[in-house]
Structure 1
Amino acid sequence: MSSSTSLAKRLLLGRPFRSDKLQHTLLPKRIALPVFASDALSSVAYAPDEILLTLSIAGASAYLFSPWITLAVAVVMVTVVASYRQNVHAYPSGGGDYEVATVNLGPKFGVAVASALLVDYILTVAVSVSSGVTNLGSVIPFVAEHKLLIALAAVSLLTALNLRGLRESGTAFAIPTYAFILVILAMIATGLIRVFVLGQDIQAPSAGLQIHAEEEHLSSFAFVFLLLRTFSSGCAALTGVEAISNGVPAFKAPKSKNAATTLMLLGGLAITMLVGIVLLARATGLQFVEDTSQIISGPPDYVQKTVVAQLGEAVFGNGILLVLVGAVTALILFLAANTAFNGFPVLGSILAQDRYLPRQLHTRGDRLAFSNGILFLAVAAMVLIVAFDAEVTRLIQLYIVGVFVSFTLSQAGMIRHWNRLLRTQRDPARRRQMIRSRAINTFGMALTGAVLIVVLITKFLLGAWIAIAAMIGIYVLMLGIRKHYVRVAEELQPTEERPVLPSRNHAIVLVSKVHMPTLRALAYAQATRPDTLTAVTVNVDDKDTRKIQAEWERRQIPVPLTVVDSPYREITKPIIDFVKGTRRDSPRDVVTVFVPEYVVGRWWENILHNQSALRIKGRLLFEPGVMVTSVPWQLRSSQDRDLDRFDRGLVHAPARGPRTRPAPPAPAPAPQEEKTQ
């Protein structure tokens, strides 16, 4: 890594943390709530929009059902929170739904849950950031005009914050999350008091509009289907609940108790805000449609604002408080993606440890965060945002399928978990507690399973099939990765037989010119004391080859120089053929190829040097019985770079003298050819 890249990394991420500092990154409940619950809390900013938007298909009269649908969503929320409180106590290691399904239902069910969660985490980032941009665009027209670019910039900023480490990102997100909670609760309380206590008539900006139904005459079956579709869209409010069960290891002790308390706080706040916003929307006559062409009376230049923005204007008017409502709503939606940025890397690390994902996702970065997982999530979310042009209504159709798959399978796993414990538990008090927990998980499985069926039926053709296809693809990919790692481990398993030592070692030094790197490679090759030593050059140009031979003789280098002809001016293939021929004479022999290489200090110098060496090494790695040794030669630019870094205090003082090169060791006499036995 160049010095400029290293400096930029330090400025962006900060100084690296020692591994023994990991305990200092653990979170208290007051920080864990905004870190892990921001997704579920922020969903109150777009779940009401989706409820009202879907009901508008049947006309404004269908808004009458919005409180009942919201109540149904609240019941599901209470059930899921109660179920996951059992999970965090039973499985505090951080595996969450994946661990529960794997232990109790089997590895393939665990992989199915993991694939669903990975897709849902990616969609969480895409939906939350896109919704944040939309809400901010309701009060700042510039944002609406550059929605896509601002969404991508927001993901990039979140990535940088999370790469700095869990505690720092949690602190950064705590203030806006709590500000959002206070502002929304204050707006709901003020609005409901003005309407129901003081009797004031406050109207949303869209209250006076007239809209027509997209479908004027709905049959009973079609209307029920519409209500179910509305309910499935409103269930987006449940996303993010499972993140706490995946993040239990990040809590301070007692981990399970703190995680369960945070879950309860999350559920209470999310339900209060969701129900309050929908009730206030009904009280103020708020209307929200998917297509503004449904509006048949209203200002000609009418621009539809989000539900939260309209309620803020109705309650607080067009002043600083309205700006505050828009600002904190946009902030919480941007930061809601942080739930995924904390959950996805941890789950990816666990899957990598179990060999279902590349091992690079298992290790922590400089700041004790799972950097590779964070970067992978950011790139995948950006691809989705670009593909769907940051449109929340289009992205929401892909949403929540994965999370309800994991909800249902997790609860099924918990039922088997309690059944297994009940078979051996004899203490009456403990048995009653387990039976109660099993009943909660049984009800949770039944309810989330029913919601999953509703979601699949109502959203499949609207885009849910894309999420399902992605889950299947990731499921197959993870099984393939696991199969590869198992096969490699079996192949590398040591046997009882002792390895057969090679009978002889033949050394070959590649020569392009007679210069200092070549002389150093020759000296090093001689120091290894091989049985035979040969220098090889490829005759691409007769004039250059004669110069090499003349210089070889002039210096009286005591190593034979072999010239390999190349009528088609190739370099790699003649060398490979020569190496193969050397080993073919005796299969028990090994061939060591010494490759002189330049060490450069500037990135662009790599383009000008070492390309032939890289191609040759890449081919030789596939040859059995062939060892490849790089012999580096540091150019002055590499030494200058190290000294410059020392001057800036980035590295310790170089352990060398002045900027002069020592002469290479004189070549020793060539070893005698071993007599044939």
Structure 2
Amino acid sequence: MLTKIKRLLIGRPLKSNESHSQKLNKLKALAVLSSDALSSVAYGPEQILIVLIAAGGIALWYSLPIALGVLVLLVALVFSYRQIIFAYPQGGGAYMVSKENLGINFGLTAGGALLVDYILTVAVSVSAGTDAITSAFPALHAHAVLVAVIIIVIITVLNLRGLTDSATLLSFPVYFFVLMMLFVIGAGFFEAMTGQAAPVHPHAAIGTPVMGVGLFLLLRAFSSGCTALTGVEAISNAIPSFKEPAPKNAAKTLLMMGGILAILLSGIVFLSYWYGIHPMSNQTVLSQLGGTIFGRNVFYYMIQVSTALILVLAANTGYSAFPMLAFNLANDKYMPRPFKVKGDRLGYSNGIITLGVMSIVLIIISGGRTENLIPLYAVGVFIPFSLSQTGMIVHWVKKKPKGWLPRLFTNFIGALICYLILIIFFVTKFSQIWPVLIFVPVVIMIFHKIHQHYMHVAEQLRVNLSIPLRSINTTDNIIVVPVAGITKVVEQSLTYAKSLSSNVIAVYVGDSPAAIEKMEKEWGEWNTGIRLVTLHSLYRSIVSPLDRFIDTIKWKADKDGATVTVVFPQFYTKKWWQSLLHNQSGVLIKASLIRHADVVIATVPFHFKK
């Protein structure tokens, strides 16, 4: 039943040689990997206006030079990550760049910050989309957390079906949003150029001096506007997901994303200024623009629907980038190895499931109100941004390829701006982002503990090929078979044990002298040729007497250089519920014997047919 449900939800398993079918072309990759960055135009311009409105509506003209500054940073980031794509075509983005050029701890800082940020991406995006849904359907407001959890489960299942399946379905809402935004910008510019624009509030002329606007306020507005750049790094993390030639296709997709983001961001900021849009608590800037340009008609509602969809689907960027980053960290032994394993649909399903579960936990803890996480979400992006820029500076200085100076300059400018934004974040929003000073060191410590464990495992498992394999006389090996009675299960296990060694001991633990006497009598009649040892358990425990007996046998075997093997008879019921009708003494015995060093545990299964 579970297998049928899994096949229905996820689809048939794919062969390893079908991996090419799961690669993305540029248009699908743009939809899957750019949804987070493109969705940021729904709230990035508004964040700028929210800061500036503190100085009055006349100060909103500053949004234009601030947006220009954000565009300069966008260009620097796009060209920087384009260079990263060709320099590190295996993917990994900021993690790989920082690790290779700045050292492992800087790499782990970038990787850890990005992993946490992708979890925040899913939680924040789905919560924002849920808010849009509950605003349209107020009856669902009391069930916002449940709605958000259901959305995450749906997106998780879609991604478990594979990249191409999720990309095909999710492309429509992403391109629908881009089309609607271009429609808004085009119509808005047409009205502005023809003098038909009807401003909500009169806008101040560019250059109008404003009392109370200082450098601190402008820098704060600039850092808030930089939230529009979240998700830019996702493409460089997921290069292996592209069709060949992967680096070239990834680079072109990055340029397309940067171009679309620049057009949408600059267009919305300019129109917000031209129409005198003021940020409001009960209506977004996009909603005001749509209502002002088109009125409350079908186009307005199409804009709102497309915005809600893109905000929800922005979470999908995390589902594409998180598993790839986790794979790179696991490949370097800093995350558990299961993150390297491909699932039935050739995606890194463990990473996808982990991201979904962690996001659900975060939404439940926060009660679906993740607004306070947005500054933490933004600073979590700019840490790897800054480190990747710095890493590329070191990369160009070390490699010095042809034409490296302009590239170095691009990364230098990007690094300066990124570090400036980080400083602004810590100065102006420390009360909201201080947790980053705790979770990043904790994540790095966990990475090192995992790596240390894998190093210890490798050291203990490493074989010296110059030393020949030790030969052991199998007749010296001791095989212990715990028996609960004389049954077909026991008969099968004893037969297998005799095939391993002639030194087989059957052990019976009885809770009364009568039970032991009965067992000894029946064993004598059976004539197995195998010695039976009976143990009396005064406290009705099977585990403790057997445990002490194994200790005694092990002590003797160590003196003779022999191996002790415990063979468990184990039956399996035909129906899963039937196993609940039997005791689990075999499981308890195994759990106890695992602590014995150098004791081999083997299970001989017996399957019931009825």
Shorter-chain-normalised TM-score: which range?
over 0.9
How far apart, in 1, do the equivalents of 2:332 and 2:575 lie? 39
Corresponding residue number in structure 1 for 2:415:
445
Deviation for aligned residue 1:404: 1.2
Deviation for aligned residue 1:348: 0.6
How far apart, in 1, do the equivalents of 2:471 and 2:425 lie? 64
Q: Is the CA contact (8 Å cut-off) linking 1:139 and 1:326 kept in structure 2?
A: no
1:631 equivalenced with 2:604 (yes/no)? yes
User: Structure 2 matches for 1:225-374, cutoff 5 A?
Assistant: 225-289=216-280, 304-374=282-352
User: Structure 2 matches for 1:592-631, cutoff 5 A?
Assistant: 592-609=565-582, 611-631=584-604
How far apart, in 1, do the equivalents of 2:222 and 2:514 lie? 81
Corresponding residue number in structure 2 for 1:191:
188
1:506 equivalenced with 2:465 (yes/no)? no
Q: Is the CA contact (8 Å cut-off) linking 2:188 and 2:197 kept in structure 1?
A: no
Corresponding residue number in structure 2 for 1:538:
509
Instruction: Return the letter of the residue paired with 2:563.
Output: V
Corresponding residue number in structure 1 for 2:441:
472
Q: Is the CA contact (8 Å cut-off) linking 2:98 and 2:110 kept in structure 1?
A: yes
Instruction: Return the letter of the residue paired with 1:85.
Output: R
CA-to-aligned-CA distance 1:305-328 (integer Å, 9 cap, x gap): 222223222222222222211111
| Pair 1:385–1:590, CA change in 2 (3 A) | same
Instruction: Return the letter of the residue paired with 1:235.
Output: C
CA-to-aligned-CA distance 1:182-213 (integer Å, 9 cap, x gap): 0011012212322442333153xxx69xxxxx
How far apart, in 1, do the equivalents of 2:435 and 2:276 lie? 36
Instruction: Return the letter of the residue paired with 2:565.
Output: T
| Pair 1:590–1:360, CA change in 2 (3 A) | same
Instruction: Name the SS for the 1:538 alignment partner.
Output: strand
Corresponding residue number in structure 1 for 2:96:
99
Q: Is the CA contact (8 Å cut-off) linking 1:132 and 1:330 kept in structure 2?
A: yes
How far apart, in 2, do the equivalents of 1:328 and 1:179 lie? 6
1:81 equivalenced with 2:78 (yes/no)? yes
| Pair 1:63–1:116, CA change in 2 (3 A) | same
**Which piece of structure 1 moves more, 354-363 or 537-546?**
537-546
Q: Is the CA contact (8 Å cut-off) linking 1:597 and 1:610 kept in structure 2?
A: no
Instruction: Name the SS for the 1:585 alignment partner.
Output: helix
2:550 to 579, 593, 607: 579
CA-to-aligned-CA distance 1:148-189 (integer Å, 9 cap, x gap): 222111111110010000111111111111110000110122
CA-to-aligned-CA distance 1:459-495 (integer Å, 9 cap, x gap): 2212x12234222211110111011101110111112
Deviation for aligned residue 1:60: 4.2
How far apart, in 2, do the equivalents of 1:466 and 1:219 lie? 35
| Pair 1:458–1:608, CA change in 2 (3 A) | farther
How far apart, in 2, do the equivalents of 1:491 and 1:485 lie? 10
How far apart, in 2, do the equivalents of 1:78 and 1:24 lie? 32
Q: Is the CA contact (8 Å cut-off) linking 1:598 and 1:609 kept in structure 2?
A: no
How far apart, in 1, do the equivalents of 2:266 and 2:274 lie? 12
Give the CA RMSD over aligned residues. Answer: 2.2
Corresponding residue number in structure 2 for 1:521:
493
Deviation for aligned residue 1:343: 0.5
Corresponding residue number in structure 1 for 2:159:
162
1:119 to 105, 108, 116: 116
Q: Is the CA contact (8 Å cut-off) linking 2:238 and 2:320 kept in structure 1?
A: yes
Q: Is the CA contact (8 Å cut-off) linking 2:14 and 2:344 kept in structure 1?
A: yes
| Pair 1:113–1:158, CA change in 2 (3 A) | same
TM-score normalised per structure 2: 0.93
Corresponding residue number in structure 2 for 1:481:
450
Deviation for aligned residue 1:142: 3.8
Q: Is the CA contact (8 Å cut-off) linking 1:136 and 1:327 kept in structure 2?
A: no
Deviation for aligned residue 1:231: 2.2
Instruction: Return the letter of the residue paired with 1:440.
Output: T
Instruction: Return the letter of the residue paired with 1:23.
Output: H
Deviation for aligned residue 1:499: 4.7
Deviation for aligned residue 1:61: 4.5
Instruction: Name the SS for the 1:146 alignment partner.
Output: helix
Corresponding residue number in structure 1 for 2:519:
548
Deviation for aligned residue 1:605: 3.5
| Pair 1:61–1:387, CA change in 2 (3 A) | farther
| Pair 1:81–1:142, CA change in 2 (3 A) | farther
How far apart, in 1, do the equivalents of 2:133 and 2:226 lie? 23
Structure with more helix by fraction: 2
Corresponding residue number in structure 1 for 2:206:
none
Deviation for aligned residue 1:628: 0.9
Instruction: Name the SS for the 2:14 alignment partner.
Output: coil
Number of aligned residues: 598
How far apart, in 1, do the equivalents of 2:459 and 2:443 lie? 24
How far apart, in 2, do the equivalents of 1:573 and 1:90 lie? 61
| Pair 1:594–1:334, CA change in 2 (3 A) | same
How far apart, in 1, do the equivalents of 2:362 and 2:222 lie? 24
Deviation for aligned residue 1:138: 3.9
CA-to-aligned-CA distance 1:1-47 (integer Å, 9 cap, x gap): xxx11111100000011111112222111111111111100111122
How far apart, in 1, do the equivalents of 2:274 and 2:607 lie? 76
1:421 equivalenced with 2:392 (yes/no)? no
